[in-house]
Homo-oligomer: A and B are copies of this chain.
Amino acid sequence: MQTRALTDPAHLTAASVELLDRVRSTTPLVHCITNSVVTNFTANVLLALGAAPAMVDITDESGLFAGVAGGLLVNLGTPTPEQRAAAREAVAGANAAGTPWVLDPVAIGALPVRTALAHELVAGRPTAIRGNASEVLALTGAGAGGRGVDAADTTEAAADAATHLAATFGSVVAVSGPVDLVTDGVRTARLANGDALLTRVTGGGCALGAVTAAFLAAALGTEHDAFTATAAATLVYTVAAELAATDETGRAVGPGTFAVRFLDALAAVDGARVTERARVAAGAAGDADATAPAAVVPA
């Protein structure tokens, strides 16, 4: 693994294209424990992209299944008692089997049950943590907490917290926002793709956690590490969002049409489109240059 390559935006884009192709050729089985609001959309996002979703969220099945799945998502959006137990079981199963897993600590901070569970699960050292700025801050004990799934804090305000979390738990941390930030505590990438319509469709953030699990699964056995896979998932997902946000005449679409077009775009997006549109900046964590959020990487 070359450090230069890993902090080179053009290389990150190329790796994203490779991993997208690999998701499609290997159809990773993605085990999802997620909230009741977004299960349908999450499954459709994975199917559109070329992965295979399976929602197994009961005890006495989730641990076993996490051991055979390619990747696991644990999203805490509507954590019923049964789901909380299933999540614990799944994390243990994933860790025992070496299955990469993603923690999405939805709306933690002010809500006590999920906050306690998130702190417990993060100690299991997720491969990746995905959240908005408020959730990432809350996971470090900082921040005011969001109001539900809204981020009351900006992505850059969570940059230090993300680096700290990454270093503490050995996780890649992805912070969603107008500019997405991905860090493993050593390297940081900022990705400026996407569209605000993603925030007008429920699951726009949550489904990215599942896509991240799919990319982590696809990266196993390749030269690409979890940092690269997490950034790649974000890049492909947000480029697809851009493709979906305007119709054939270039006019912005409404949120209902966007959700439909987004699934179509996830199925259709290819290396050429990802490369052409990628707006990625990367560098060492804390590197001043890396904070340029909208650096355009020429194709």
Contacts and interface: CB of A to CB of B under 8 A. Distances in A.
Interface of A: 29, 35-41, 43-44, 47-48, 52-58, 60-61, 64-65, 68, 77-82, 107, 110-114, 147-150, 199-203, 253-257, 259-265, 267-268
A64 B268 contact: no
B107 A78 contact: no
Contacts of A40: 37-41, 202-203
B148 A29 contact: yes
Given A78-B57, A147-B52, A44 B201 contact: yes
Nearest to A114: B61
Nearest to A107: B54
Copies of this protein, total: 3
A168 to B, nearest CB: 26
A268 B255 CA distance: 10
B149 A111 contact: no
Nearest to A57: B78
A191 B112 CA distance: 42
A47 B199 CA distance: 8
B44 A58 contact: no
Contact of A256 (B48, B55, B61, B107): B48
A48 B254 contact: yes
Given A253-B264, A259-B263, 5 more contacts: A36-B36, A44-B259, A55-B77, A56-B107, A256-B259
Given A256-B261, A256-B264, A78 B58 contact: yes
Contact of A254 (B52, B111, B201, B264): B264
29 contacts: A37-B39, A37-B40, A40-B41, A40-B202, A40-B203, A43-B202, A44-B255, A44-B259, A48-B254, A48-B256, A52-B147, A52-B148, A53-B148, A54-B149, A56-B111, A58-B79, A60-B112, A60-B113, A61-B112, A61-B113, A64-B112, A80-B82, A81-B82, A200-B267, A253-B264, A255-B263, A255-B264, A257-B264, A259-B263
